[in-house]
Amino acid sequence: MAILEQVNGTAVQRRPAEYVPRRSWRTRLIGRPLQTADAPHQTVGRFIGLAVFASDALSSTAYATQEILVVLAAAGAAAMAAVVPISAAIVALLAVVTLSYVQTIHAYPDGGGAYVVARDNLGELPARAAGAALITDYILTAAVSLSSGVAQLASAFPVLFPYRVHLAVAMVATVMVLNLRGVRESGRAFAVPTYFFVVSMAIMVGAGLFRYLTGSLGTVPDPPATEALDGLRALTPFMILHAFANGTSALTGVEAISNGVTAFKEPRARNAGITLIWMSSILGSLFLGISFLARHAQAVPSEYETVISQLGRTVFGGPGIPYLCVIAATTVILIMATNTSFAGFPRLSALMAKDGLLPRQLTYRGSRLVYSRGIIALAVIASLLIIGFDASVSGLIPLYAIGVFFSFTLSQAGMARRWWKVGRLQPGREVKERGSTLRAAAGWKLRMAINGIGAICTAVVTAVFAVTKFTEGAWIVLVLIPALAVLLRGIHNHYIRLAAGLSLRDFAEPPPEKRHRVILPISAVHQGTLAALRYAQILSEDVTAVHVSTDPEEAEKVRRQWEQWGKGVRLVILESPYRLFLEPLLQYIDEIAAQRQPNETITIVVPQFVPRRWIYNLLHTQTAMLLRLALLFKPGIVITDVPYQVE
């Protein structure tokens, strides 16, 4: 029902659009379109939220221990004992980071994580750096998780090893489609494999600890071959730091829940905070258990068989059904771990795009109320990374955790400063910021201390990772993050200039146009040309048809036909001895524009015939399209297409 309003003398009619999207291959693939009003019903609870946002962090237990052993193996079997204390130190760091992010979730219930915290408390430059680090992290998370999942699959079925890149890219496409179906629906799809993984790993770790306590654990039977080392090296503090840096990959994904708070049901901050605590508890327990068993079962790092596969064979006595369940669960969770990126990256990119740091298109919500363009962009970039690094986990890991811990550091430093600002407020006073509201609160010193300790710890880990992994590829990220930050600033500056150029502030209405000149480029005289001519004569009586001649006989034919069908409109024939079309025409238009009188409008009417079937466009040169694109950048000129549909 239409509603007619009068606002300051202007008639405004409001009417609902009655169009209902039709069923198509897209609706069959990603589901029926949802209305905007359905958005509150697409949120998730803690149970589904754990599957959506925690799969990345939980899946890191599948490779974090192995990455520690990769470094320690260079110092011999005796050095492998260090895997347990290193893992314990990482779990302690996990506890600090978790407490810090719980505070972030409650302080910023609208989400945004490190980017919003840095923006509101540290300034635009740290915010851009945090955004660049998180973007890098999400992309690498997708690539590493899927590459690791394929590695698990190849461990159980070596025949698949040569096809790991193809499998990984196919899995990216699968996860992309699932996420395009919506948060709630994709969460349900991911819940079963996520909890299957948690249960399977808990059974393996529990059975392994039982066998260790009863003295029946033993060592890995038929351990896989490892790469030959040029002599064993001593276990140095640098090597321990290197192994610690590798193992901190277990903390990747911890920040995802703070970025996606808005995906949770109300009270969303409480639900998100509890989900984060659940995730960290499960992650810490499994990680410590796997490292402990790997130490006593003498598992070895290998590209041909993962540590999880070795532990499964050892604990369950061979590649039976329990072993295959562990491998299947691990493979699926590593694939599903990519969902953390697909859930977090589109939300972060939409938030940054809204602030003018990324293309505005990323703020668009698709038919299923998800940021579909961000999802597709992530899938494409992750696939390119997988192809470029040949789906190698060890090749991608050095690029992985620097962005994670750099964003951790900025987030915790920003939160510490936020509590400092809270401590300066008078009781009862509120200060509204872009991402949250500051209110005087008791206990701000303790909270500031927690976040301050978190910032110091993660800053140290960032430095350790940068130094120990520098020559292995970490330098790429150290260059990439600042480069991305510069790119974000360039995009932001463009939007600022665009807004200034479009602003109505101090805008004076120009005098009305008194003269209208129309130029009609023609390549031949046919029904499409005459349709464009009729439209041009509606616009103005001053119409000039222009033909660029590359063939004298063809030009003469055009002249004769124009005399018959041109309705007396003047025709200009531009001789082009070099057989060029666009350049002479553009030069002629420039000459006319240079002679333009005050208050005169020049319109280029471009005739374009359109075949009924789009595939037939490939049979034509599309001169009209090329001409329109060339004229688009001519200032002070209006371009109008006149399509003419033909068979």
Distance of alpha carbon 264 from alpha carbon 431, whole angstroms: 26
Segment 343-356 shows an average pLDDT of 89
> Residue 597: which pLDDT band, with cuts at 50, 70 and 90?
confident
Final residue of a domain: which of 496, 525, 547? 496
Do 160 and 362 touch, CB atoms closer than 8 A?
no
Do 521 and 491 share a structural domain? no
SS (H, E, C) 10-34: EEEEECCCCCCCCCCHHHHHHCCCC
Q: Which amino acid is at 497?
A: R
* Tokens representing residue 622 in the block: 């599309």
Do 545 and 574 touch, CB atoms closer than 8 A?
no
Do 491 and 521 share a structural domain? no
> Residue 91: which pLDDT band, with cuts at 50, 70 and 90?
very high
Do 422 and 281 share a structural domain? yes
SS (H, E, C) 252-279: CCCCHHHHCHHHECCCHHHHHHHHHHHH
Do 480 and 611 share a structural domain? no
Do 481 and 533 share a structural domain? no
Angle between helices 124-156 and 164-180 in degrees, nearest 10: 120
The pLDDT score that the predictor gives to residue 55 is 82
CA distances (Å), origin 6, targets 137, 330, 446, 608: 52, 63, 57, 41
**Quick check: 514 pLDDT over 60?**
yes
E-strand ranges in 245-341 read none
CATH at 587: 3.40.50.620
Per-residue pLDDT of 382-405, as tens digits, reads 999 888 888 776 666 666 667 888
Do 520 and 492 share a structural domain? no
Distance of alpha carbon 200 from alpha carbon 308, whole angstroms: 12
Domain encompassing residue 441: 42-222+234-496
Do 529 and 409 share a structural domain? no
Residue 437: phi and psi, rounded to 5, are -120, 125
Contact partners, residue 330, CB within 8 Å, separation at least 6: 59, 62, 149, 152, 197, 200, 201, 306, 308
CATH at 380: 1.20.1740.10
Per-residue pLDDT of 621-646, as tens digits, reads 677 777 778 888 877 788 888 888 87
Of all residues in the chain, the percent with pLDDT exceeding 70 is: 92
The pLDDT score that the predictor gives to residue 509 is 67
The pLDDT score that the predictor gives to residue 562 is 94
* Tokens representing residue 103 in the block: 């505070």
Element (H, E) at 604: strand 600-611
Do 451 and 364 share a structural domain? yes
| Averaged confidence pLDDT in the chain | 84
The pLDDT score that the predictor gives to residue 352 is 92
Per-residue pLDDT of 212-249, as tens digits, reads 999 898 888 888 876 545 455 677 888 888 888 888 87
Distance of alpha carbon 214 from alpha carbon 635, whole angstroms: 83
**Quick check: 413 pLDDT over 90?**
yes
Contact partners, residue 486, CB within 8 Å, separation at least 6: none
Domain contains 291: yes
Do 301 and 70 touch, CB atoms closer than 8 A?
yes
Domain contains 34: no
**Quick check: 445 pLDDT over 70?**
yes
Final residue of a domain: which of 435, 466, 496? 496
- Which letter does DSSP use for residue 41 in this model? G
Element (H, E) at 285: helix 268-297
Distance of alpha carbon 43 from alpha carbon 184, whole angstroms: 6
User: For 28, what's the count of Cα atoms within 13 Å in the CB-facing half-sphere?
Assistant: 3
Number of domains in the chain: 2
SS3 368: coil
Do 473 and 543 share a structural domain? no
Q: Which residue has the tokens 């909890």?
A: 195
DSSP string computed for 60-121: GGGTHHHHHHHHHGGG-GGGGGGHHHHHHHHHHHHHHHHHHHHHHHHH-TT--HHHHHHHHH
> Residue 511: which pLDDT band, with cuts at 50, 70 and 90?
low
138 or 1, greater pLDDT: 138
Domain contains 265: yes
The pLDDT score that the predictor gives to residue 337 is 76
CA 459 to chain centre: 25
Per-residue pLDDT of 365-384, as tens digits, reads 877 778 889 999 999 999 99
Domain contains 228: no
Among residues 588, 589, 590, 593, which one has the least CA distance to residue 575? 588
Of all residues in the chain, the percent with pLDDT exceeding 90 is: 28
Q: Which amino acid is at 438?
A: L
SS3 132: helix
Element (H, E) at 643: strand 637-646
Distance of alpha carbon 58 from alpha carbon 53, whole angstroms: 10
Per-residue pLDDT of 118-177, as tens digits, reads 999 999 999 999 999 888 888 887 887 788 778 767 777 888 888 888 888 998 888 888
> Residue 563: which pLDDT band, with cuts at 50, 70 and 90?
very high
- Which letter does DSSP use for residue 443 in this model? T
For residue 14, the cross-strand partners are: 3
Distance of alpha carbon 133 from alpha carbon 468, whole angstroms: 19
Do 405 and 552 share a structural domain? no
Domain contains 100: yes
Distance of alpha carbon 479 from alpha carbon 470, whole angstroms: 11
The pLDDT score that the predictor gives to residue 84 is 92
Segment 22-35 shows an average pLDDT of 71
The pLDDT score that the predictor gives to residue 41 is 63
Cα angle: 110, vertex 115, 116; to 5 degrees: 40
pTM of the model: 0.76
Per-residue pLDDT of 449-506, as tens digits, reads 988 988 998 898 888 878 877 777 777 888 888 999 999 999 999 999 888 887 777 7
Residue 267: cis peptide before it, omega within 30 degrees of 0: yes
The pLDDT score that the predictor gives to residue 418 is 92
Contact partners, residue 276, CB within 8 Å, separation at least 6: 98, 101, 102, 105, 254, 257, 258
Q: Which amino acid is at 563?
A: E
Residue 539: phi and psi, rounded to 5, are -70, -40
**Quick check: 430 pLDDT over 90?**
no
Final residue of a domain: which of 468, 496, 524? 496
Per-residue pLDDT of 188-197, as tens digits, reads 777 888 899 9
Do 519 and 492 share a structural domain? no
Do 452 and 412 touch, CB atoms closer than 8 A?
yes
- Which letter does DSSP use for residue 640 in this model? E
The pLDDT score that the predictor gives to residue 485 is 92
* Count of CB atoms situated within 10 Å of the CB of 32: 10
Distance of alpha carbon 565 from alpha carbon 6, whole angstroms: 48
Do 555 and 490 share a structural domain? no
The pLDDT score that the predictor gives to residue 470 is 79
Distance of alpha carbon 153 from alpha carbon 163, whole angstroms: 11
Domain contains 50: yes
